[in-house]
Amino acid sequence: DTAVSQTPKYLVTQMGNDKSIKCEQNLGHDTMYWYKQDSKKFLKIMFSYNNKELIINETVPNRFSPKSPDKAHLNLHINSLELGDSAVYFCASSQSLGDQPQHFGDGTRLSIL
Amino acid sequence: AQSVTQPDIHITVSEGASLELRCNYSYGATPYLFWYVQSPGQGLQLLLKYFSGDTLVQGIKGFEAEFKRSQSSFNLRKPSVHWSDAAEYFCAVGAGQAGTALIFGKGTTLSVSS
């Protein structure tokens, strides 16, 4: 069983489009995260949610909107995609707020044409 | 501000040789420290973690790391590298406080030569 699963694994789309990435965890964790890994492989936190409540919102364009329908899911919706959004997006989860370690999904590679 | 520095961008080691990957952190309190490994096209897998106690921690795949508070370091070691260890290695610090996520270093790419 995959602990943290993301779909799709690959996403190729054109500038200006709107797309969503889904994340689900079956670990019973309370906290979920989105990270962005750029072309130089640098990983940076974007958002974190605890019990469906937004906790961390780093300096991310408001074109990015996370949504957590329940504790097990944290989706990422991106409006008006730009070339600079091309990256690998990782979802992660942890048992509770501030708890470690975090468990990561396999990532979604987003390519903007 | 919290930060993590991995001074080596790319390291090449011969198969069977020993390995040490360096990591330095900046954090005011006692940090939670981690090493993750990322194989090509894969997600991040936790190798080991340090929260408190014994400063030498053992991880999976034969890796170990030593926490040295005086040097603000958490270097990763392996006595004998295997070709399958070729990957990207990330050191990370987590404050363990409410709302704080992992702060990652920029990673070290490990190549293994035969």
CA angle (B29, B30, B32) in 5-degree steps: 125
Q: Is A106 on the interface with B (CB under 8 A)?
A: yes
Q: What is the pLDDT of residues A8-21, one digit of tens each?
A: 999 999 999 999 99
Distance CA B25, CA B103 (A): 10
Q: How far is CA B33 from the centre of its chain?
A: 8
Write out the residues of chain B at the interface with chain A, using a CB-CB cutoff of 8 A: 32, 34, 36, 38, 42-46, 49, 51, 88, 90, 94-104, 106-107
Distances (CA, A) of B106 to A70, A103, B22: 32, 19, 12
Using an 8 Å CB-CB cutoff, list chain A residues near B104.
Answer: 42-44
* Residue A17 · residue A81 · CB < 8 Å: yes
Rounded to an integer, what distance in angstroms lies between the CA atom of residue B58 and that of residue B76? 10
Q: Is A42 on the interface with B (CB under 8 A)?
A: yes
Interface contacts (A, B; CB < 8 Å): 64
- Which chain A residues in 66-85 lie under 8 Å from chain B, judged by CB atoms? none
Task: Spell out the residues 6+ positions from residue A65 whose beta carbon is closer than 8 angstroms to its own.
Answer: A76, A77, A78, A79
pLDDT of chain B, 114 residues: tens digit per residue: 778 999 999 999 999 999 999 999 988 777 889 999 999 878 899 999 998 888 999 999 999 999 999 999 999 999 999 999 999 999 998 864 544 678 899 999 999 998
Half-sphere CA count of B58, side-chain side, radius 13 A: 3
| Residues of chain A positioned with their CB less than 8 A from the CB of B95 | 98
